[in-house]
Amino acid sequence: MTNTTDTSTAGAPPRADGRTARRRPQFRELGVLLAVVLLIAATWLHNPGFLSSQGVRDLFLGATVLAVLAVGQAMVLITKNVDLSVGSVMGLSAFGTGLLFVTLPGLPVPVAMLAGIGIGLVCGLANGLLVTSVQVPSLVVTLGTLYAYRGLNHWWAGGGQVNAHDMPAAFLALGRISVLGVPLPAAIAIAVVAVVGFYLARYRSGRELYAIGSNADAARLSGIPAARRVMVAFTVNGALAGLAGVLFAARYGTVDSTVGTGMELQVVAAAVVGGVAIAGGVGTVYGAALGAVLLTTITAALPIWQINQFWQQAVVGALILAAIGLDRLLALRTARKLRGGGARGA
């Protein structure tokens, strides 16, 4: 993996339209950030307790797991693929981590955490191998592994669960301690966003994911190992789903075979609302993380406004449709500008 800041890196936009391409994701991210700020401010004015110390902590912790999952999903979506199995992988990793403490009392906490992440990594690698070798659409492959991993988790759990008293206090403390006033799980999520965002922006292999998502055939013809890069994206996504499972177990202390059920749609929604295009090649993990914050803030704010939770799904659906519509609008505007520039150049 070679570090480079060359603007001609594969996947980077040509200089002629580079400013337009950069403004597009920035516009989306700023819009999501503004929506988060306005929602928090309005809810705080309605109920000042929303931004109490405990309220802020709950907002941080509420967005942690979804943000970590959204970062991994963003990498996959950028390559014009999707992973619907992340909820099942998260649940498998959470239960596996808890079961390790039951099976091996005295196991060092870092070892158990690495094992949980490793479970997710193996599942993500399996997804990547299936997508790249069988040449079946990722939607179909990961829909199958969603049920396969969930079934494996049910078989493994056998209807039982791991409770907080089965886990060491040092592990459970990870969900309670803070770093500079930020809950440790949230600090870990912020670090994940920063590291993956830096990789995608500054490393050639990261920029190549955008090239693959924009035009996979052209990327292959230019010498980019597309299959290998897609496999890496799925593997990293699986590892991050494993990390989300570990953080979930540390925060809640009780895990069973139902952990993560239904999370896959929330994860895709967070990434898409944050500006990661379903069509591939566009978006950043920063936007995906902001999308996760927006969705969790909506979830926290609705009860304060005494709005039925049913409307949360309606709001999320509307946001997804708006995001897709905005993507299309911006794409058409960019195409018109490029055609106009080409005509003037001629």
Q: Where are the domains of the chain?
A: 15-341
Predicted pLDDT at 25: 54
Residue ranges of the chain whose pLDDT lies below 70: 1-27, 338, 340-346
C-beta separation of 199 from 206 below 8 A: yes
Sign, Cα dihedral of 110, 112, 114, 116: negative
Q: Which two tokens stand for residue 232?
A: 């890496």
Q: What are 3's strand-pairing partners?
A: 203
Fold classification of 15-341 (topology level):
ABC transporter involved in vitamin B12 uptake, BtuC (1.10.3470)
User: Which is nearest to 237 in space by CA: 63, 65, 71?
Assistant: 71
135 phi and psi angles, rounded to 5 deg:
60, 40
Predicted pLDDT at 337: 75
Exposure string of 267-278, with b = 16+ CB inside 10 Å and e = fewer, is: bbbbbbbbbbbb
Predicted pLDDT at 162: 93
Q: How far apart are CA 326 and CA 323, in angstroms?
A: 5
Predicted pLDDT at 18: 40
C-beta separation of 242 from 119 below 8 A: yes
Dihedral angle computed from the Cα positions of residues 324, 329, 330 and 333, in that order, rounded to the nearest 10 degrees:
160
pLDDT tens, position by position, 256-269: 999 999 899 899 99
Q: Which two tokens stand for residue 275?
A: 């500006």
Predicted pLDDT at 318: 84
First to last CA, the chain: 40
Q: Is the pTM of this model over 0.85?
A: yes
83 phi and psi angles, rounded to 5 deg:
-125, 105
